[in-house]
Amino acid sequence: MFRHRSFLTIVCLGILNLGGLFSLGLAQGDFSIYLSDQVVADPGQADVPLYMVLTSVDSIAGIDMLLEFDPELLTGSSVKLLSRFQYVSYDTSLPERIRIVGRRHHPDSTYLAPLTPGTDTLGLIWINVTSQDLLLDVEVPVSFFEDLGTPFADNRLVRSDSSFITPPELTLTDGSVLIRHPLYGDVNDDGYAYTIADAIFFFNFLAGSQKLSSRQRANSDVNKDGVQASMADFLELIRVIVEE
C-alpha cells in the first residue's frame, strides 16, 4: 500500500507540474490556492488524491490551510507536500476538517529559500470515501474553512519576512469529490450486472487469484451493507442469478 501510494504521488505530481499552463488557467489573482474540482471516486475508495495548486507573485515561505467536508461521506487520510517544504504537519483529529501547515525552512535544518513567484503544485491531500450506498452520484465539496474561534486567519500564505497574505488578497478556490454510484452486481465491471461472468470473477477474487479495482469493489457490495467484497455479497450475487 505504501509503495502504491508513493508511486501514485510521484505520477500525479509529475503530471500536474508538466501541466503548468493548465494550472495557470485555474488559479485566479495575484495570490491563490486552488483545489482540484470533481475528482471522481467510488464508494469505499481509500486515498483519493485531491491536488493543491499555488499561484503567487511574491516569494512564499509557508502555508496554513484549514479544510472542511462532510464527515459522513469523506475523511482525511494524509497530506503530501512537495519535498521542498522542510516542515509539514496535518491534523485530522476533527472528522469534518483537516488542518495543514507547511514551512519552506525549518530552524533545525539547513536554510532553504522561499518558493519563487509563479504557479506550482503544492502537493496532494489524500481522502477516504464512505462505502455506504448513497443511491445516486453525489458531489461532496471540500471547502476552505475559517474558524472564528482561532486568533489568526486559518487560510494564509507566509512571506519570507513572516508577514501573512490572507483573503481577500488571497483567492481560495474550493474543490470537490464526485462519488459515483455503483452498478451493484457488476463485479467484473463489464457493464452487465448479475451474470455468470460476475460470479466467476467474484469467486476468483475470494480464492485469491483476482484483484478488484475500486469500481469493482464498490460494485461487489451486492447486499448493500457497506462491507464490500464479502462472502455474504457473493452468496447474495449467486441467489439473484439463480432466481433470475
**pLDDT tens string 152-167:** 999 999 998 999 999 9
For the chain, the structural domain boundaries read: 2-179, 196-243
The predicted structure's pLDDT at residue 6? 53
Query: Higher-confidence residue: 227 or 8?
Result: 227
pLDDT at 5: 54
Which residue do the cell numbers 488557467 mark?
A: 25
The per-residue pLDDT for 106 is 84
What class is the 2-179 domain?
mainly beta
2, pLDDT greater than 70: no
**What is the tens place of the pLDDT at every residue in 176-225?**
999 999 999 999 999 999 999 999 999 999 999 999 999 999 999 999 99
DSSP letters, the chain, are -HHHHHHHHHHHHHHHHHTHHHHHHH--SSEEEEE---EEE-TT---EEEEEEEEESS-B-EEEEEEE--TTTEEEEEEEE-TT-SEEEEE--STTEEEEEEES--TTS---PPBPSEEEEEEEEEEEE--S--SS-EEEEEEE---TTSSS-SSEEE-TTS-EE-TTTEEEE-EEEEEPPP-TT-TT-SS--S-HHHHHHHHHHHTTS----HHHHHHT-TT-SS-TT-HHHHHHHHHHHHH-
Q: What is the pLDDT of residues 80-102, one digit of tens each?
A: 998 789 999 999 999 999 999 99
| Band of pLDDT at residue 29, cut at 50, 70 and 90 | low
Burial 156-177 (b: 16+ CB within 10 A, else e): bbbbeeeeebbeeebebbebbb
Is the pLDDT reported for residue 4 higher than 60? no
The helix or strand, by DSSP H or E, that contains position 233, with its residue range, turns out to be helix 231-243
> Per residue in 173-185, pLDDT tens?
999 999 999 999 9
Pair type for strands 48-56 and 118-129: antiparallel
> Is it the case that residue 108 has pLDDT exceeding 90?
no
CB 173, CB 54: distance < 8 Å: no
- pLDDT exceeding 70 applies to what percent of the chain? 88
Q: What is the pTM of this model?
A: 0.83
Is 152 in a helix, a strand, or coil? coil
pLDDT for the residue numbered 244: 77
Quick count: other Cβ atoms within 10 Å of Cβ 196?
A: 9
DSSP string, 183-199: -TT-TT-SS--S-HHHH
The size of the chain, in residues, is 244
> For residue 18, what pLDDT is reported?
42
- Across the strands, what pairs with 119? 55
For the chain, the C-alpha Rg in angstroms (whole number) is 21
Residue with cell 451493507: 225
pLDDT at position 82 = 83
